[in-house]
Amino acid sequence: MADRLALFADRDEAGRRLAAALECFRGREPVVVALPRGGVPVGFEIARLLEAPLDVLVVRKLGAPHRPEYGIGAIAEGGSCFIRREDIEGIGISQSQLEDTVAVEKEELERRREAYRGDREPLSVAGRTVLLVDDGIATGGSARVAARALRARGAAEIVLAVPVGPPGTARRLVHDFDEVVCLEEPHGFHSVGQFYVDFSPVADEVVCHLLELGREVPPMRVAADPPPDPVAGHRAIEIEPEPRVLLEGDLQVPEDARGLVLFAHGGGSSRKSPRNKKVADMLNRSGLATLLFDLLTPVEAGDRAKVFDIGLLAQRLMAVTRWVQDDEELRTMAIFYFGASTGAAAALRAAAHIGADIHAVVSRGGRPDLAAKSLEQVRSPTLLIVGGADWQVVALNEEAAENLVNCRHQVAIVPGATHLFEEPGALELVAQLAAEWFSRFLTVQS
């Protein structure tokens, strides 16, 4: 039941996730250059969300004679060429065979260039930062030849941006690009398509349509000018999970919200935490209601033993869940858990106990390992989000994921992020990943 392979629903979702990771480049006024055909839907979302111009660079993989799926190099419009000489020698390809292969691919390259751009000149990249985008990377040959073509046109900085690649992608290509942003480098990589739910071929007509939209439709201003606050209702609440214990919370309910996210904070975090409030605000803007509350009273929060008492935290979370299920305004909503630090373990233990009423769980920099044997009983789809630079917690989350044997689950790494996700764009990506995960399970449960 593990959702180990499908990291992205489709190329559109992959583009939105990449856009959040590339937010730090917005101020450099980049040009987005996508590799057709699969890279164009990804690049379109990035260009739209970063308010950047979109263009394509036509590249053709060179396949070995009689084994076209085996890449021996690539060519790009403008004449750039990349050949893996060791492969040619290794499988005995003659010079005449290579020349014939290049000639065939040049013909197809020119056909596509004409179809996508016609008489229009490519966008100028001279002196600009270029975000080179594809839907994934395998050998890197196409990306390398594209980088050569862009440098020949005067690009000042080239950033390779892909949703997924084999382990070591960023390290392997570091000398070919100024920076490499690869959201996922999963083990067991065989092909890009295995990590998408929908990896349907992209038609030439779709490429042309998206390029046309990129020229005519004004890009969406998301980060700089957020839309008007959609929150229709705010309530300060108090819940008494046990005698003489009063938990305080802040409830936000956007208009037409169908799901409610219960925040389970751990360690020194609280409902007043700027990080929690920022994530909650972004979830509100995606149409989800949020309930931020403290699992511990102010006095209890100073007791280190209680901070790590996962059983106590889970019992408190279940009490809040029962309150939600009894509330007239909230009882019809799908219930989700969003846990941080030790709160993530509490969320998983509570989800294991409650069962199908919890539609999905998301952990941010959490300690799911502290849920121990409860992990095997969790049936709610679970997303574990970890900062790529938070190595110790990454290992703990990956080990915990192996014990989530009865639910769909996924470990999502935010590239370069540390434990608190303080890096530019990191927390925004967390919120986007969470919103997409919750949206997938508004009505469907595992």
The answer as to whether 167 is a domain residue is yes
Q: What is the CATH number of the domain that holds 262?
A: 3.40.50.1820
Claim to verify: residue 160 and residue 244 sit in the same structural domain:
no
The answer as to whether 226 is a domain residue is no
The answer as to whether 255 is a domain residue is yes
What is the total count of domains within the chain? Answer: 2
Q: What is the CATH number of the domain that holds 95?
A: 3.40.50.2020
Residue 267 has pLDDT above 60, yes or no: no
Claim to verify: residue 184 and residue 235 sit in the same structural domain:
no
Claim to verify: residue 235 and residue 212 sit in the same structural domain:
no
| Interval 182-210 mean pLDDT | 89
DSSP state of 292: E
Q: Convert the pLDDT of each residue in 105-147 to its tens digit.
A: 888 898 988 889 888 889 999 999 999 999 999 888 889 889 9
**pLDDT at position 228, please?**
43
Question: Which of the residue ranges 72-76, 124-128, 176-180 would you say has the lowest mean pLDDT?
Answer: 72-76
Q: What is the DSSP string of 155-189?
A: BSEEEEEEEE--TTHHHHTTTTSSEEEEEE--TT-
Claim to verify: residue 211 and residue 293 sit in the same structural domain:
no
Claim to verify: residue 209 and residue 240 sit in the same structural domain:
no
- Scanning the structure block, which residue is given the tokens 């007509």? 205
Residue 222 has pLDDT above 70, yes or no: no
Q: Convert the pLDDT of each residue in 323-365 to its tens digit.
A: 999 998 899 999 999 998 889 999 999 999 999 999 999 999 9
The answer as to whether 221 is a domain residue is no
Mean pLDDT of the chain: 86
Residue 319 has pLDDT above 90, yes or no: yes
Claim to verify: residue 77 and residue 189 sit in the same structural domain:
yes
Distance CA 64, CA 73 (A): 9
Claim to verify: residue 31 and residue 146 sit in the same structural domain:
yes
Claim to verify: residue 145 and residue 288 sit in the same structural domain:
no
Residue type, 21: A
Last residue of a domain, one of 216, 244, 269: 216
pTM value? Answer: 0.54
Last residue of a domain, one of 216, 239, 263: 216
Last residue of a domain, one of 158, 181, 216: 216
Return the closest-CA partner of residue 330 out of 239, 244, 245, 440. Answer: 239
Claim to verify: residue 373 and residue 254 sit in the same structural domain:
yes
Claim to verify: residue 183 and residue 242 sit in the same structural domain:
no
For residue 338, the cross-strand partners are 263, 362
Claim to verify: residue 159 and residue 297 sit in the same structural domain:
no
Write out the residue range of the structural domain in which residue 240 sits: 231-440
Q: What is the DSSP string of 5-39?
A: S--BSSHHHHHHHHHHHTGGGGGG--EEEE-TTTH
Return the closest-CA partner of residue 143 out of 120, 170, 125, 112. Answer: 170
